[in-house]
Structure 1
Amino acid sequence: MRLLILVLLLVSPLCFSKTVVVIESYHKEYKWDADYLVAIESVLGAEHDIHVLALDTKRLPKSEWPQKAASIQNSVAEIKPDVAILGDDNAFSLMAQHLVDQNIPVVFFGVNGTPDQHPTLEHPLVTGVLERPFFEQSIRHLRKVLRQRENFLILMDDSITMRNAVNDYFGDKRRAEIYGSRVDIVQTNDKDTWLSTAENAYTKYDAIIIGTHHTIRDTGNNYVQPKELINQAHLSSPVPIFSFWDISIGAKEALGGFTISAYQEGFTGARLASLILNGIQPDRIPQIKSLSGHYVYSKSGMAHWNIELSPLVASQANFIE
């Protein structure tokens, strides 16, 4: 069945015009959202009427999320979509159950949660792309990039998102061997612990790979901006810092890696939606994990840590700056 769906994703023709609503967890100016919106438009925009609604949960305080969700629900009632596409966990947790209650099929992507956090994942009107970091592929890639490549540190926040991702691949282990390299995993929501772990990684590790770092707080329980955190780590870590997500790569941030692509996530989600628009029931479309990533590198980051790519990898990479 998985092979059949992959084939359909490539060759499925689009039917006559229908209405699609895309509900963002965040906002269109946020790079992750901007990239996947371009992908959705490229797949569905020529034939279908697309409406984009933003929950804006990165900028709105959590206390205002229910009110914003109610406003989005009203908009959906006016639009009367044939299918809804939900980007990321917040959109799914705030909107999925309401949508299926209205008998609206749901396609999701960028969702890291499991049915324990999102019971609606198991609803017959729901399918989509479960977002999972490319642990194995990233280690394989970095073993080709680095001269010293025996020991890696994966450094993440201790969010539900990252716990799900780690448990899905590693189970309850926090040390593993991948392609002959030792991999240790550290998860924390404490700023000082996160930074000191990054700063002292050189005593044990050849490189750091960061996951999300969006639930970090300082000793006063104040929220720490992810960009501020990675900027400090960039300046203080003697060993190179890579990332599982392209949105954490750039000047004074992570230097690169084999990353999840927002464009690819949106593209796959849109193709799944096209299957539903062509009459395939969502429960006939298996939920899948992130299909492919891409190589993204920061030129200033490469210079900072004296990293060079082989001609082959360089020819496949997207360079920032």
Structure 2
Amino acid sequence: MSYLRYLALLLFFLASSVMAYPLVIVVESYHPENAWDKAYLNGLRSKLDGVAELDFIALDTKRLPTSAHLEQADLAFYEIQQKKPDLVVLGDDAALALLGPRLARMKMPVVFLGINADPAQYFGGKLPENITGVIERPLYQQNFNLIRELLPQAKNILVLLDQDRSAYFIQADIQRLKHNDIDVVLVNNYSLWQNKVMNASLQYDAIVLGTYQALIGANGQHVEADEVMSWTRAHSPVPIFGFWDVAISRQGAAGGMVLSGFEHGAVAGTMARAMLQQPRQVLPVQQSSPGHLIFSRAQANYWKIQIPRKMSKRVSWLP
């Protein structure tokens, strides 16, 4: 066998042995620097690295004005049409609302995550067979019960939210619980947020932070979430709790019965992997993973929060 023929055969077999990974495009409603996005993207990667090629598109809806969201979705849809992925992951309600119906018409396999609304509402009341995912249901009642147990003298609780799309679904879910001693307040202006925090002790005994990544400053520009959190922690006259693990830290909320962004992404990643391996199977929608009791030791000490012995065995402590 000649050298050139041998080399040609070798290259042929090498090329044949390399299997191309399926392409998965992940569309984030927010932006890669967002703490929730970072967490669920790591969860997705934990299940899809080595299984699929991942490509990412960020709609940036927390930092861009609402008037720009549709254009962002149009650009994302064009990119999806050009790249022809094997599956699309849609992160959070904005991505599902803006892109879900278009992808359904394409018969594109879709896994969603971080959905606070009923996902079927984005499709005229019935979810297409090629679209499934993980709905996000923060543990509202468990957190209110937790605050009552840790702060027995607490009478009124403020749940503070920005005016992101998800915030309205959160507000509706909490209001359905019919608690007269819990107020849910939505603001989009950072100055108003600051005012609500600084005067919280006039009406409330605790604050629970919901969404806080879409606030607008006096200059009309987006205020970074880390700045909002650190300012809120420094100026709140009452203890702060959170619904998500990304809110709990030495510079953030004291604690809560929280959802894990990483686990949320991992569940969605497992579903995407199964759909890639068996493309025609129909997977049922799944619920958020069970909550975790997480506290910052520094913040618990600062607010003089005493964790009962029976509860302490279930707490995961952060610095």
Question: Structure 2 residue aligned with 1:161, among 154, 159, 166?
Answer: 166
> Could you give the per-residue CA deviations for residues 124-164 of structure 1, whole angstroms, max 9, x where no partner exists?
12222222321112122333333434432212224432111
Q: Aligned with 2:179: secondary structure? A: strand
In the other structure, the counterpart of 2:179 is: 176
In the alignment, structure 1 residue 49 sits paired with structure 2 residue 52? yes
Question: Structure 1 residue aligned with 2:134, among 126, 129, 132?
Answer: 129
Q: Aligned with 1:96: secondary structure? A: helix
Shift of 1:198: 2.3
Shift of 1:212: 0.8
In the other structure, the counterpart of 1:309 is: 307
Once the two structures are overlaid, the 10-residue window that deviates more, 101-110 or 304-313, is: 304-313
> Could you give the per-residue CA deviations for residues 92-145 of structure 1, whole angstroms, max 9, x where no partner exists?
244323322322111101123456983478441222222232111212233333
In the other structure, the counterpart of 2:113 is: 109
Uncovered stretches (5+) of structure 1, i.e. residues with no partner: 1-16
Q: Aligned with 1:118: secondary structure? A: helix
In the other structure, the counterpart of 1:138 is: 143
Question: Structure 1 residue aligned with 2:94, among 74, 90, 101?
Answer: 90
Q: How far apart, in 2, do the equivalents of 1:82 and 1:311 lie? A: 50
2:162/2:211 contact within 8 Å kept: yes
Change (3 A) 1:106 1:148: same
1:55/1:65 contact within 8 Å kept: no
1:260/1:294 contact within 8 Å kept: yes
Q: How many residues align?
A: 298
1:156/1:162 contact within 8 Å kept: yes
Given residue 184 of structure 2, which amino acid in structure 1 is its aligned partner?
I
In the other structure, the counterpart of 2:42 is: 38
> Could you give the per-residue CA deviations for residues 284-315 of structure 1, whole angstroms, max 9, x where no partner exists?
54434423222332233223212233455444
1:264/1:293 contact within 8 Å kept: no
Q: Aligned with 2:264: secondary structure? A: helix
Shift of 1:272: 2.8
TM-score when normalising by structure 2: 0.76
Q: How far apart, in 2, do the equivalents of 1:79 and 1:217 lie? A: 35
Change (3 A) 1:73 1:196: closer
In the other structure, the counterpart of 2:186 is: 187
Uncovered stretches (5+) of structure 2, i.e. residues with no partner: 1-20
Q: Aligned with 1:176: secondary structure? A: coil
